[in-house]
């Protein structure tokens, strides 16, 4: 089925859209490089009166660090337009595991600050104090000793929480960034224990977190992202419109081989903004 046919099939949905859930890396920028068409994209959707929330599985940075980065890139972001896998993990612990207060975290200072700001205690000496849970996130400055201590407690049945399932983090540098999913795979191999919860995309509760905060309905929302197995899978599981962009991980040949089929495929976010203009 052609791209144009898929778009026509979604006309009624396109006309009622109120809010876009926007992936960051691979969709808005790659690494530290902003895609050149992004400013025009925001001009169009703001003129159309469509809201937006930036979401990311990258738990290395706090919301305020993301805000600083986005504003430095010239993007129209505020604290309440950013929802990360770290925030989803906090929401999950506060709603589903209320007795957990002390955390041993494999992650950055930015990740730890998010939990600390929400009243969690960060265990710094796990040799003498048993944590209530182990939380693993993306950490580009991974401390091998911390990974080993996490494994020690996981092996002793302390709850094991992953902020996201991503195996690698996109980058514009000549390196491979090992992400949370790969760290968890190492811990699972070492301990024989799988995470008790893997949060972030593609868990549909990531979208529900945005919907709840913005007082929206599922039909008001579209997810725009570059990954089939996270962004598009999440949108399908949440029953919201899914829009795949080809500026990141997914290549055109990948789509036909995937069980998850996006509702709309576009080259980039600006193309989708122009489609919205046409149908509104």
pLDDT tens, position by position, 34-50: 999 999 999 999 999 99
Q: Is the dihedral of CA 233, 236, 240, 244 positive or negative?
A: positive
N-terminal to C-terminal alpha carbon distance within the chain: 24
What is the structure's pLDDT at 6? 84
pLDDT per residue as tens digits for the range 234-271: 999 999 999 999 999 899 889 988 889 999 999 999 99
What was the pLDDT predicted at 217? 95
Q: Which of 186-195, 206-215, 226-235, 250-259 has the highest mean pLDDT?
A: 186-195
CA distances from 152 to 103, 104, 145, 157, 164 (A): 14, 11, 11, 9, 21
Tell whether the model's pLDDT for residue 126 goes beyond 80.
no
pLDDT at 5 over 80: no
Query: 280 falls in which pLDDT band (50, 70, 90)?
Result: confident
Preceding peptide of 202 cis, ω within 30°: yes
Angstrom distance (rounded) from CA 237 to CA 231: 10
Token duo for residue 40:
């025009």
What pLDDT shows up at residue 156?
95
210 pLDDT above the threshold of 90:
yes
> What predicted TM-score, i.e. pTM, was given to this entire model?
0.89
pLDDT higher than 60, residue 201: yes
Contact assessment for residue 75 and residue 46, using Cβ atoms and an 8 Å cutoff: no
**Predicted pLDDT of residue 192:** 98
pLDDT for position 125 = 80
Mean pLDDT value across residues 119-142: 91
- CA atoms of 280 and 48, how far apart (whole Å): 8
- Please give the mean pLDDT across all residues of the chain: 93
**Domains of the chain, each with CATH number or no CATH:** 3-57+201-279 (3.40.50.1000), 98-198 (3.40.50.1000)
Cα–Cα nearest to 25, from 80, 79, 85, 78: 85
pLDDT at 168: 86
Q: Which pLDDT value is given to residue 1? A: 56
| Torsion on CA atoms 179, 133, 194, 169, rounded to nearest 10 | -10
The CA distance from 266 to 60, in Å, is: 29
For residue 268, the model assigns a pLDDT of 98
Question: Phi/psi zone of residue 27: left (φ > 0), alpha (ψ -120 to 50 degrees), beta?
Answer: alpha
Would the pLDDT of 203 be above 80? yes
């Amino acid at each position: 089925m052609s791209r144009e046919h898929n778009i026509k099939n979604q006309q009624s949905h396109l006309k009622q859209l109120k809010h876009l859930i926007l992936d960051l890396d691979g969709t808005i920028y790659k690494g530290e490089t902003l895609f050149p068409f992004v400013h025009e994209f925001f001009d169009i959707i703001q003129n159309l009166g469509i809201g937006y929330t930036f979401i990311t599985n990258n738990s290395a940075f706090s919301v305020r660090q993301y805000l600083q980065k986005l504003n430095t890139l010239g993007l129209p972001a505020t604290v309440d337009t950013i929802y990360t896998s770290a925030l989803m993990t906090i929401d999950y612990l506060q709603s589903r595991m209320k007795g957990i207060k002390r955390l041993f975290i494999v992650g950055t200072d930015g990740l730890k600050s998010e939990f600390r700001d929400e009243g969690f205690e960060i265990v710094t000496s796990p040799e003498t104090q048993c944590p209530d849970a182990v939380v693993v996130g993306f950490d580009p400055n991974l401390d091998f000793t911390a990974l080993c201590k996490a494994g020690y407690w996981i092996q002793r049945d302390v709850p094991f929480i992953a902020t996201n399932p991503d195996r690698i983090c996109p980058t514009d540098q000549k390196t491979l960034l090992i992400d949370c999913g790969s760290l968890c795979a190492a811990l699972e191999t070492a301990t024989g224990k799988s995470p008790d919860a893997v949060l972030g995309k593609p868990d549909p509760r990531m979208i529900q977190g945005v919907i709840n905060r913005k007082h929206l309905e599922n039909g008001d929302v579209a997810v725009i992202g570059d990954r089939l197995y996270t962004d598009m899978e999440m949108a399908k599981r949440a029953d919201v419109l899914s829009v795949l962009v080809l500026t990141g991980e997914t290549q055109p040949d990948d789509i036909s081989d995937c069980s998850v089929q996006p509702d709309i495929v576009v080259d980039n976010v600006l193309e989708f903004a122009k489609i919205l203009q046409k149908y509104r």
